Amino acid sequence: MWEADDSQDLWATPGNSPAASMAHGERMVGSELTAEDLDVDRTLRPQRLDDYCGQEHIKQSLRVLIEAAQSRGGPVSLCGLRLLCEGLSPAGH
């Protein structure tokens, strides 16, 4: 089985160290969201129902809920959304 060799610094190769990356303007991974992260996130998320793959019956039900809300000029019904996502609860609860 392979084991790490503690005597060798894996980052020590030229141009591959964190310091070298920062010197070239590359960003290290961090926990803070950046504008670049948000831009990438927006491009990955579907913008329309048609962008989602599969689940045709769910998409059609969502279309009905959204169109009903738009026609009455209000928000999507949370009761309708809950019914769509969870179905009818047992014993009418």
Q: What is the pLDDT of residues 71-81, one digit of tens each?
A: 999 888 888 77
Q: Is residue 22 very low, low, confident or very high in pLDDT (cuts 50, 70, 90)?
A: low
Amino acid at 61: S
Q: Which of 53, 52, 74 is nearest to 65 (CA)?
A: 74
Question: The pTM is what?
Answer: 0.47
